[in-house]
Amino acid sequence: MKIGFIGLGNMGAPMAANLVTAGHKVTGFDTMDVAVDGVAKAASAAEAATGADVVITMLPNGAILRTVAAEVIPAMTTGAALVDCSTVDVDSARAVAADAEAAGLLAVDAPVSGGIGGAAAGTLTFMAGGSDAGFAKAEPLFDIMGQKAVHCGSSGSGQAAKICNNMILGITMIGTCEAFALADKLGLDRQKMFDVVSTSSGYSWTMNAYCPAPGVGPQSPADNNYQPGFAADLMLKDLRLSQQAAESADADTPMGALAQALYATFVEKEDGAGRDFSAMLPRFEKRGRD
């Protein structure tokens, strides 16, 4: 395929590189003038999109997505697919999809899970929203860039799945960190705590696969001084998206709201910026009961 790729940052660059390795012709654009081996440089987003079978975007937020979409949609060929892999608000995803479809294009919102490592290794999971035809056109590319793609439903469903998943993740990480901090103060050995919880009803991904306690469980960012695998800043972004969606849908999400507030304090008023989202554990270690 001829592919336009817009947004060649930490995630987009390795994703585009994997498409080139698989034999696709990729033309890329990024405002930072990034160079990726095998990816032809375009002077603008519209130029990258011109004549492409599929245009993939990987952008920071919904406002930027809307701006880029307004530029690329008129440049795209009827029947081409606009595949947005950014994590943005559901309303922006649906608005962009509506504009694309009105222009005779296929639209897919397909945020990813797996982080920078998954982007480089081609092991991302894609959560896709859009028509069956749009998903079918994008699926071969998902197979190159990732290991799994789930068609979640109509436009916006991919973003909804990502936001709901990461709300659970943020809430669960806080609970896991709180439990370790409590175990410490009760004199319970962390390894014993892990041995019990990881095989009991407290089992969770944040405990078993991404344990926030250094030296306990499989290797995780906790064993690398909390250098980010998934940054607390990004968790805060996703939690804010979850609460924006909850407000729009009139959904009661008190735990999600509290998780957002805690990560906002951690990132914006404490030392969480630039650290892994599991660095909540040393935060709780240092605190007493208010």
User: Which residues are identified as catalytic?
Assistant: 162
Residue 6 burial by CB count (10 A; 0-12/13-18/19+): exposed, middle or buried? buried
Sign of CA dihedral 35, 41, 42, 48: negative
Q: Which residue from 90, 39, 92, 84 is spatially nearest to 59, judged by alpha carbons?
A: 84
For strands 2-6 and 25-29, give the pairing.
parallel
Residue 178 CB-density burial (10 A; 0-12 exposed, 13-18 middle, 19+ buried): middle
Contact 129, 153 (CB under 8 A): yes
Angle value at C-alpha 66, between 50 and 266, nearest 5 degrees: 130
Contacts of 31 (CB under 8 A, 6+ apart): none
198 burial via Cβ count (<10 Å: 0-12, 13-18, 19+): middle
Written as one string, the DSSP assignment of 36-47 is -TTPEE-SSHHH
Q: Could you tell me if 24 and 3 are in contact, meaning their C-beta atoms sit under 8 angstroms apart?
A: yes
